[in-house]
Amino acid sequence: MAKNKTSRQWVHDHINDPYVKQAQAQGFRSRAAFKLMQIDDKDRLLAPGKVVVDLGSTPGGWSQVSSKKVGASGKVVAIDLLPMEPVHGVRFILGDFREDGPLGELVESLEGRRVDLVLSDMAPNLSGIAVTDQARSIHLLELALEFAREHLKSGGDMLVKVFQGSGFDELRREMEQLFTSVAVRKPDSSRDRSAEVYLLCRGRRGEPTA
């Protein structure tokens, strides 16, 4: 009963969410597009000509925002295990970026250009078990960090979603070893009751290993 009540509450909140309505009105795939836009308004991550990799991109809200911002001179490559409807100006790869095949396709799609920005709005399939869900969230963040370590250019940036809880502080300290600054962002479009925050990592130290 409790689960059904929670599901009904989520549906009610989703239908009445002003950002859901705005996303529909403006042609964005999801309300998550506003999270990236609000962070970008403050921190200026996206700009014409930049090369962006969107990890776990489906349904494509962040890819839509990125493509508009980087323009024709930039490049957006998106990858996800789930299919994504085409987004203008975005190269989409269906697959797991941890596997050699999809990763090789991603790197080839960059056409020799270095990655300026790694994005990840990935979230695990929630089980309802807090400890399990937190561990899965941290694991996804570790995967994104490893990708950035290997492919993000010197001075490049990364923006990733994470849920605050066990392992958060340790992983943040690991990120601070790779980046010159790591800050927490909670955009207005992120629901207050959600434990999600975004880690904004700026100025990658050193050179990529790949």
The pairing of strands 152-163 and 51-55 is unpaired
Residue 135 lies in a domain: yes
Q: Which of 50, 69, 75, 161 is catalytic?
A: 161
Residue 1 domain-assigned (yes or no)? no
Pick from 182, 185, 170: nearest CA to 121: 185
Asked if residue 94 belongs to a domain, the reply is yes
Is 81 inside any structural domain? Answer: yes
Question: What residue numbers bound the domain in which 60 lies?
Answer: 30-204
Secondary structure (3-state) at 25: helix
> Average pLDDT of the chain?
87
pLDDT of residue 183: 96
Per the annotation, where are the binding residues?
60, 62, 80, 96, 121
CA distance 191 to 146: 28
Residues with Cβ within 8 Å of residue 172, at least 6 apart in sequence: 182, 199
117 in helix, strand or coil?
strand
E-strand stretches of the chain:
51-55, 75-80, 90-94, 115-120, 152-163, 179-185, 196-204
pLDDT for position 10: 41
For 123-129, what is the mean pLDDT?
A: 72
* Terminal Cα distance for the chain, rounded: 50
pLDDT at residue 173 is higher than 70: yes
| Residue 50: active-site member | no
- pLDDT given for residue 130 in this prediction: 74
Could you tell me what percent of the chain has a pLDDT over 70? 89
Q: How far apart are CA 205 and CA 80, in angstroms?
A: 27
Nearest C-alpha neighbor of 47 from the set 117, 104, 107, 148: 117
Give the integer Cα–Cα distance in Å for 87 and 187.
24
pLDDT, residue 210, reads 63
Asked if residue 73 belongs to a domain, the reply is: yes
Residue 91 lies in a domain: yes
In the sheet with 196-204, reading across from the earlier edge strand, the strands are: 90-94, 75-80, 51-55, 115-120, 152-163, 196-204, 179-185
Looking at the 3D structure of the chain, how many domains does it have? 1
Nearest to 141 by CA among 193, 79, 196, 94: 196
- Residues 23-45 have pLDDT tens digits of 676 767 788 999 999 999 999 99
Indicate the annotated binding residues for S-adenosyl-L-methionine: 60, 62, 80, 96, 121
> In which band, very low, low, confident or very high, does the pLDDT at 19 lie, cut at 50, 70 and 90?
low
- Identify which has the larger pLDDT, 51 or 13: 51
- The rounded distance, in Å, linking the Cα atoms of 206 and 189 is 34
Q: Return the pLDDT at 132.
A: 76
> Residue 2: what pLDDT?
47
pLDDT in tens, 92-109: 999 998 899 999 999 999
**In a domain? residue 99:** yes
**98 domain residue, yes or no:** yes
Average pLDDT over residues 56-73: 96
Which CATH number goes with the domain that contains 163? 3.40.50.150
